[in-house]
Amino acid sequence: MAQNDQDFINTVLTACHADISGPEPSEPSRLFHLTDTDGILGILDSKKLWASLATSLNDCREIRYALDLAEEIIGACIEARPSEYYSSLLTYLRDPSSAPPEVKAEVSAFVVAFCDKCDRSGQWLHYGRNGRGIAVGFSSNIAKAMRRDLVKVDCDVESQKKRLSSLIDVGRAIVDKFPSDMADKLRISQARLTGHIVSLYVPMLAATMKHPSFSEEREWRLVGHQIVLNGKIQGKSGRDEIKYRRSNERLVPYEELSFADVPNAISEVVVGYSAASTLDAIRVLLQDKGFDVPVRRSEVPVR
């Protein structure tokens, strides 16, 4: 791959990454990660959280919701202003394997899920083991220490459309700036390449969106982005070794994120209303692992 090709690819990658990062939201003081007894034992022993590949999670179909929304927007763009860029973007989004063989870029998102409050029945029912789980309250400053983006999951349709359109427009703006004297063959090739790269960022943006019916969850996510170009990780990935676990019949790639060096990383633990573990047992566990934090029983009557 020629240097000018690499420079062009870096330009598109940088523009896409800047667009999906967006402004930093007002962070909550506390983020709750819902788990079970085995989970809290593992978290406290290792002082690590697992960031899983977004598309391998239980709710990966939720990403499909935002992808469908993106396809609608691109379809409208093609109808209003047909172009090689829009057509390529839609093609590669629907079938990533059809991307240009001379340049294979891959972008993946690894996420850890949190909520900013754990006093809603839906959270305990769906993620808190029907009230038998445990919510570990983390300080939001773990995001910077782990070199990850902290994003609030977007459940507003108008906001989702605006953000997806903005990302799609990033590629269009790059293509629109091609010199008027550029050779047709190069113009088509780079328009397709732009569509390919933008098509990889659409699912990453989709990983921060959910259907409006999930708004009650008040979900936040730690998100890490991995970029691989022709088999090579680009820049400083800031990630540890990828590991793998089984979840029912699914294979879930994940990375371990350490909070060992974060002062006061854990600030509270909430035990589910129907959890068998006593508060005293959890307090002893926390103190034994070096965490002197409040422990309380959830008042949400989920059984």
Q: Provide the residue-wise pLDDT of the chain in tens; the chain has 303 residues.
A: 455 677 898 899 899 989 987 666 678 889 999 999 999 999 999 999 999 988 887 655 667 889 999 999 999 999 999 999 999 999 999 998 888 776 777 778 899 999 998 888 878 887 888 889 999 999 988 988 888 889 999 999 999 999 999 999 999 999 999 999 999 999 999 999 999 999 989 988 988 899 998 888 889 999 887 777 777 665 544 455 789 998 878 899 999 999 999 999 999 999 999 999 999 999 999 999 999 999 999 999 987
64 found inside a domain: yes
303 found inside a domain: no
44 found inside a domain: yes
- Report the relative pairing of strands 243-247 and 232-233 from DSSP bridges: unpaired
CA proximity to 109, closest of 200, 170, 214: 200
Position 112, amino acid = V
Phi-psi region of 230 (alpha: psi -120 to 50; beta: other; left: phi over 0): left
195 found inside a domain: yes
148 found inside a domain: yes
20 found inside a domain: yes
Question: For the stretch 185-217, what's the b/e string if a residue is b when 16 or more beta carbons lie within 10 angstroms of its beta carbon?
Answer: eeeebbbbbbbbbbbbbbbbbbbbbbeeebeeb
Domain count, the chain: 1
302 found inside a domain: no
28 found inside a domain: yes
Give the range of the structural domain holding residue 255, as residue numbers without chain letter.
Answer: 3-297
